[in-house]
Amino acid sequence: MYQLKINELSEQAFLNQYWQKKPLLIKGGFSDFKDPLDANELAGLAMEDSIESRIITNHNQQWQSHQGPFEDFEILTDEHATLLVQAVDHWHPEAAQLLEPFRFIPNWRIDDLMISYSTPGGGVGPHLDQYDVFIIQGEGKRHWRVGLPDPTLKQFAQNKSLLQVEAFTAVINCVLEPGDILYIPPGCPHEGYAIENALNYSVGFRAPNQQDLLSSFADHIIDTESGQKRYTDHTLALRDSKGELTQSEVDKVKTLMQALLEDESLFKHWLGNTLSQPKHDMDLAPEEDPFSVEQIQQLLENQVTFERLGGTRAIYQCMDTELLLSINGENYALPLSDLEAVKQLTDFIEFDSSVLNATTPSLDFIETFTTLVNEGIWFS
Q: What are the residues binding ligand SIN (CB under 6 A)?
A: 82, 116, 123-124, 129, 135, 190, 192, 200, 202
Of the candidates 299, 320, 322, the one whose C-alpha atom is nearest the C-alpha of residue 380 is 299
Tell me the residue type at 124: V
Nearer to Co ion, 204 or 361 (CB): 204
**Does 162 interact with Co ion (rule: CB under 5 A)?**
no
Residue from 83, 183, 65 nearest 133 by CA: 183
CA of 252: how far to CAs of 53, 145, 214, in Å?
Answer: 48, 51, 19
Helical H segments across 282-346, by residue range? 293-301, 339-346
Near Co ion by CB under 5 A, which window of 50-58, 128-136, 242-250, 368-376? 128-136
Residue with smaller CB distance to ligand SIN, 57 or 202: 202
Q: Which of 123, 361 has the CB closer to Co ion? A: 123
Q: To the nearest whole angstrom, how small is the minimum distance from the Cβ of residue 40 to Co ion?
A: 24
149 binds Co ion (CB under 5 A): no
**In terms of DSSP H, where are the helices of 224-362?**
247-261, 264-275, 293-301, 339-346, 353-357
Q: Which is nearer to ligand SIN, 68 or 361 (by Cβ)?
A: 68
d(CA 55, CA 49): 15
Q: By C-alpha distance, which of 144, 130, 273, 154 is closest to 204?
A: 130
Closest residue to Co ion using C-beta atoms = 129
- Of 125-133, 316-324, 332-340, 370-378, the window that binds Co ion (rule: CB under 5 A) is 125-133
Closest residue to ligand SIN using C-beta atoms: 116
Q: Which is nearer to Co ion, 254 or 279 (CB)?
A: 279
CB of 4 to ligand SIN, least distance (A): 18
Is 129 or 150 the residue whose CB approaches Co ion more closely?
129
Per the DSSP assignment, residues forming a β-bridge with 202 are 114, 135
Separation between Cα atoms, residue 10 and residue 246, nearest integer Å = 55
Select from ligand SIN, Co ion, none the partner in contact with residue 140, using the beta carbon and a kind-dependent cut-off of 5 to 8 Å.
Answer: none
Question: Rule CB under 5 A: is residue 163 a binding residue for Co ion?
Answer: no
Q: 279: how many CB neighbours lie within 10 A of its CB? A: 13
Residue 361 site contact among Co ion, ligand SIN, none (CB < 5 to 8 Å, cut-off depends on kind): none
Residue 57 touches which member of Co ion, ligand SIN, none, C-beta under 5-8 Å by kind: none
Contacts of 30 (CB under 8 A, 6+ apart): 2, 3, 4, 5, 101, 136, 179, 181
Q: Which does 200 bind (CB under 5 to 8 A by kind): ligand SIN, Co ion, none?
A: ligand SIN
Q: How far is the CB of 91 from ligand SIN (least distance, A)?
A: 17
Q: Which burial class, exposed, middle or buried, applies to 64 when counting CB atoms under 10 A from its CB (0-12, 13-18, 19+)?
A: middle
Options 51-59, 90-98, 122-130, 172-180: segment touching Co ion (CB under 5 A): 122-130
**Contact flag: residue 129 with Co ion (CB under 5 A):** yes
Residue 116, binding choice from ligand SIN, Co ion, none, Cβ under 5 to 8 Å by partner class: ligand SIN
Residue type, 186: P
Whole-number minimum distance, CB 291 to Co ion, in Å?
42
DSSP-based three-state secondary structure for 380: coil
Please give the residue ranges that form the binding site for Co ion (CB under 5 A): 129
